[in-house]
């Protein structure tokens, strides 16, 4: 990343031209790429004290004293670990700096949190159960088909050497090319357009300068907002050749999701999804993450119902025709289902550094069963 940077103001009235005016606060903090085409855009979006800007500072440069600490050594290529005092549970590390915020063209319809970071409608409406009309179901079909297309494009670039930030760029471009908004971008201040979760990272990994290495496993979680509705789909892929234990983990996780989907139909109890998933995980020497669940999805990115993926849960409610929801089991090798977050407050990792995998589909409950709105081609045999 070098040369000119497009104006970083989300609402640049000049079409985000190449820009030379750099935010001095960002520059001091070591945040690269805070360039604006003029005072107007700088003031509108980056002036210190502005809430959204402060959040970007906080995420990109988590703690100022850390950056003043001489023991934060940048490696030869200028990358660094911003949380060097944190006790990591495995061998994954953040590789900063994050790239500059990616731009959304003006004509693309945004969800309410796109500027503020706060999903106001979701906070208000998350508890109401939505049954979609036929017209709304059709819109979900489109958003979900586009989500799958973008995931498949991203997956086709998985190979040793590519960075997760480059995958983020691919997802971002493919999404806006389809006139859609990448749902993760600025959702509760998430700084990127996709989640990339490798090895012991369970979910919500932030794309950065980490290069994929042969033997890694990577989950790519794509969600996008099109014509007022969100689609959400993720899958876990091998990077080059992987060990047998990792292959088994990926196969087991896919089986957990597929078996759960087979049971979906009107009247099926939300709490019984986990009853199917957990025995499959256990039989394969794995455990089921309890802290994150599936979710309803429609005009809201996340809403009721929230199906747990573990057995003996007490979730209420049953499936009804016209309901759209995700199932997205996160499965860990070994018996530790608990998780630890990195200081970025997003990246969730296993407590013992063992690998974790995930698959997700968005589903529509029909009169007779279920339609997998994000369905792709069957997974190649590992
Ligand atoms: N796509 C995730 C899910 O399955 C949500 C990611 S939220 C983000 O629910 F902000 F991290 F992107
Ligand atoms: Co989801």
The stretch 289-296 carries a mean pLDDT of 98
| pLDDT of 30 | 53
Nearest CA to ligand 1 atom 3: 232
Where does the chain hold its CATH 3.90.230.10 domain(s)? 67-99+108-372
CB atoms within 10 A of CB 353: 17
Tell how far the Cα of 326 is from the centroid of ligand 2, in angstroms.
6
- Say yes or no: CB of residue 216 within 6 Å of ligand 1: no
Best residue for ligand 1 mutational test, from 301, 304, 374 (most atoms within 8 Å of Cβ): 301
- Say yes or no: CB of residue 187 within 6 Å of ligand 1: yes
Tell how far the Cα of 71 is from the centroid of ligand 1, in angstroms.
33
Length of the chain in residues, anyone? 382
User: Up-side HSE of residue 214: CA atoms within 13 Å toward CB?
Assistant: 2
The per-residue pLDDT for range 96-124, each reduced to its tens digit, is 999 999 999 999 999 999 999 999 999 99
Query: How high is the mean pLDDT of the chain?
Result: 91
Confidence of residue 26 (pLDDT cuts 50, 70, 90): low
Q: Domain 67-99+108-372 classified CATH 3.90.230.10?
A: yes
- Say yes or no: CB of residue 337 within 6 Å of ligand 1: no
**Can you tell me the distance from the alpha carbon of 37 to that of 43, in angstroms, rounded to the nearest whole number?**
11
The percentage of the chain sitting over the pLDDT mark of 70, rounded to a whole number, equals: 90
Tell whether the model's pLDDT for residue 192 goes beyond 80.
Answer: yes
CA Rg value for the chain: 21
**Can you tell me the distance from the alpha carbon of 103 to that of 101, in angstroms, rounded to the nearest whole number?**
7
Instruction: Please give the angle made by the CA atoms of 338, 339 and 344, to the nearest 5 degrees.
Output: 165
Going by C-alpha positions, the residue among 254, 261, 260, 193 that lies closest to residue 221 is: 193
**Can you tell me the distance from the alpha carbon of 178 to that of 220, in angstroms, rounded to the nearest whole number?**
18
Query: Which residue reads 């014509």 in tokens?
Result: 227
Please tell me the pTM assigned to this model. 0.85
């Amino acid at each position: 990343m070098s040369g000119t940077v497009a104006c970083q103001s989300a609402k640049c009235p000049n079409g985000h031209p190449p820009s030379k005016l750099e935010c001095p606060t960002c520059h001091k903090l070591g945040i690269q790429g805070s360039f604006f085409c003029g005072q107007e855009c700088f003031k509108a979006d980056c002036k210190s004290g502005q809430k959204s800007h402060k959040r970007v500072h906080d995420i990109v440069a988590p703690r100022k004293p850390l950056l003043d600490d001489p023991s934060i050594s940048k490696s030869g290529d200028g990358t660094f670990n911003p949380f060097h005092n944190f006790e990591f549970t495995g061998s994954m590390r953040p590789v900063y700096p994050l790239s500059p915020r990616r731009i959304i063209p003006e004509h693309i319809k945004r969800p309410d949190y796109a500027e503020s970071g706060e999903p106001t409608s979701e906070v208000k409406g998350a508890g109401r159960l939505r049954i979609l009309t036929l017209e709304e179901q059709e819109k979900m079909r489109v958003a979900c088909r586009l989500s799958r297309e973008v995931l498949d494009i991203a997956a086709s670039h998985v190979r040793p050497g590519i960075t997760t930030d480059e995958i983020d760029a691919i997802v971002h471009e493919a999404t806006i090319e389809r006139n859609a908004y990448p749902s993760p971008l600025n959702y509760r201040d998430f700084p990127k357009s996709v989640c990339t979760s490798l090895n012991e990272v369970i979910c919500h990994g932030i794309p950065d300068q980490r290069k994929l290495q042969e033997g890694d496993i990577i989950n790519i979680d794509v969600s996008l907002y099109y014509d007022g509705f969100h689609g959400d789909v993720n899958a876990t892929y091998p990077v080059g050749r992987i060990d047998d234990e990792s292959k088994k983990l990926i196969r087991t996780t896919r089986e957990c999701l597929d078996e759960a989907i087979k049971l979906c139909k009107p009247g099926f109890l939300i709490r019984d999804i986990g009853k199917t998933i957990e025995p499959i995980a256990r039989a394969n020497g794995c455990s089921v993450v309890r802290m994150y669940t599936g979710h309803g999805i429609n005009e809201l990115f996340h809403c009721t119902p929230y199906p747990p993926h573990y057995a003996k849960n007490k979730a209420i409610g049953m499936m009804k025709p016209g309901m759209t929801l995700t199932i997205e089991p996160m499965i860990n090798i070994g018996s530790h289902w608990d998780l630890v977050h990195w200081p970025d407050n997003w990246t969730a990792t296993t407590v013992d550094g063992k690998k974790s995998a995930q698959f997700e589909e968005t589903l529509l409950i029909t009169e007779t069963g279920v339609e997998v709105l994000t369905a792709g081609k069957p997974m190649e045999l590992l």
